[in-house]
Homo-oligomer: A and B are copies of this chain.
Amino acid sequence: MLQKGWKDSLLSLYAQSRRNSRFHHCPSDKTKRLLQSQIFQPTNLLEDNRPSWLTYKSQQLMLQAGLIHPSSPGCYSYLPVMVRAMEKLIRLIDKEMQGLGGQKINMPSLCSATLWKKSERWDLVGKELFRLRDRLSKEYCLGPTHEEVITDLIASQHNFSYKKLPLLLYQITRKFRDEPSPRYGLLRSREFYMKDMYTFDVSEEAARHTYRTVCDAYCRVLSRLGLQFLKVQASAGNIGGQMSHEFQLPAEIGEDELLVCSSCEFSANVETVQPDQNRCPACQGELTKSKGIEIGHTFYLGTKYSSTFNAVYFNAQLEPVVVEMGCYGLGVTRMLAAAIEILSTADGIRWPELIAPYQVLLIPPKQGSKEEGATALIEALYDDISKAIPQLKDDMVLDDRSYFTIGKRLNYANQLGYPYVIIAGKRALDTPSQFEVQCQNTGETLFLSKEGVMGLLNEVPAV
């Protein structure tokens, strides 16, 4: 039981405990160099370097490079290097979504069966839905998407005015899907990160305009990553709605079959056209078959969910009107895997430059080599870049494993993927020093002075 003077006596205790150093104070951390030897990137998790069950390049490379580790089928732990790339991709998506006026929210994973029964998806989705009961036997599913939850949230507002529209809400959260055969690493897993946006508009016309602006933002995300893509006519599946597109990264290993017109801009998932159709419905041009990895899916929903949940806004005449909706998915972890699948070589990961986990790797000479004297030079280069180009400060790694030859460390670098690898080789001891710079994404090798390196790195894009 707390007496009346409780707060006062507690405050006096604080004062005492401060004097008694109950409150710890530590000096803040100094700037340290990031050392390759200390990064948790276990490259020794695979018994056999190329197990036969690894059919996809990205999965093999991501496991070999210590980016992910399987926990149970289709469920992965993302390791530190992977988390860095993912956080960069999330920042990129945040910027593009917020540039449209999108506002970020975060909805629960546990979605009540009541809501899902209302939309009839509880039965429709079937076994892909992870289902569970709580201690009171109430039923839930683990949300694969959140149309029900968000429409219910919008419906719960009173006097929701037309002045608030268009409203664009999105989240970047973990999603769940009980895939019949989870495989291909992060390309088809049972837990994954997805950006899902839900939009609300006053009319079909406004909703179609919003739909186009969100699709344009998807195009910008993919362009900024340097990924070629197709926006194809798609089936709306169990999400529903009246218009739908997929964003596909063309890849021979893609699971989606596409038809692309050689004369106009029509392209479609084969699911959406008649079997054996080989002429473009728009211009009668020839349709070419292609394959793609789906990384985004957009839906103009109309009032499919809003009418069921009675989500209405009030117009200028204060009359309730059912709100027009759209929804827009973008696979975050899948996009990372797909980019690796498409950009990498057979032996080495290549990242979209903007979201590479680390932009720069610096390799000092081998211990005991003739060039060992250049160690201090490349360490000074690290510190100078760190000071002069603040956005690279946390994006540089020093490969301090100087017990390995430069060649061996270059092999690692080639496998793990760094847009810029800087080597203190023979010419580092020239006057002035020349550093070897390997640009992994372009394949170029340059010999540059310190100023030249700084000039090059100053242009590295950051998100």
Chain A contacts to B: CB under 8 angstroms = 1-2, 6-7, 9-10, 13-14, 16-17, 20-26, 28-29, 37-40, 42, 44-45, 69, 71-72, 75-80, 82-84, 86-87, 99-101, 103-112, 127, 130-132, 134-135, 138, 140, 142, 149-150, 152-153, 156-160, 163-164, 167, 169, 173-174, 176, 178, 180, 190-191, 213, 215-217, 219-220, 223, 228, 230-231, 250, 252, 260, 262, 264-265, 267, 288-291
What residues on B are CB-neighbors of A16 within 8 Å? 262
Determine if B77 and A164 form an interchain contact, defined as CB atoms under 8 angstroms apart.
no
What residues on B are CB-neighbors of A164 within 8 Å? 37-38, 40
Q: Tell me the dominant secondary structure on chain A's binding face.
A: mixed
Determine if A288 and B9 form an interchain contact, defined as CB atoms under 8 angstroms apart.
yes
- Given known A-B contacts A21-B265, A24-B219, A103-B39, A75 and B10 have beta carbons under 8 A apart: no
What residues on B are CB-neighbors of A79 within 8 Å? 105
- Given known A-B contacts A26-B216, A72-B112, A130-B134, A153 and B105 have beta carbons under 8 A apart: no
Q: Which chain B residue shows the least CB distance to A114?
A: B72
Q: Which chain B residue shows the least CB distance to A126?
A: B135
Determine if A149 and B77 form an interchain contact, defined as CB atoms under 8 angstroms apart.
yes
What residues on B are CB-neighbors of A109 within 8 Å? 109, 142, 174, 176, 191
Determine if A106 and B77 form an interchain contact, defined as CB atoms under 8 angstroms apart.
yes
Determine if B134 and A76 form an interchain contact, defined as CB atoms under 8 angstroms apart.
no
Determine if A71 and B108 form an interchain contact, defined as CB atoms under 8 angstroms apart.
yes
What residues on B are CB-neighbors of A216 within 8 Å? 24, 26
Determine if A106 and B135 form an interchain contact, defined as CB atoms under 8 angstroms apart.
no
What residues on B are CB-neighbors of A158 within 8 Å? 44-45
Q: What's the nearest-Cβ distance from chain B to residue A15, in Å?
A: 11
Question: Bound state CA distance, A83 and B94, in angstroms?
Answer: 12
Determine if A130 and B132 form an interchain contact, defined as CB atoms under 8 angstroms apart.
yes
What residues on B are CB-neighbors of A267 within 8 Å? 22
Determine if B132 and A127 form an interchain contact, defined as CB atoms under 8 angstroms apart.
no
- 25 residue pairs bridging A and B, Cβ less than 8 Å apart: A2-B252, A2-B291, A7-B252, A9-B288, A13-B290, A16-B262, A17-B230, A21-B265, A24-B215, A24-B216, A24-B219, A25-B223, A26-B213, A29-B99, A29-B100, A40-B169, A44-B159, A69-B156, A71-B108, A71-B110, A72-B112, A72-B140, A83-B104, A83-B105, A87-B104
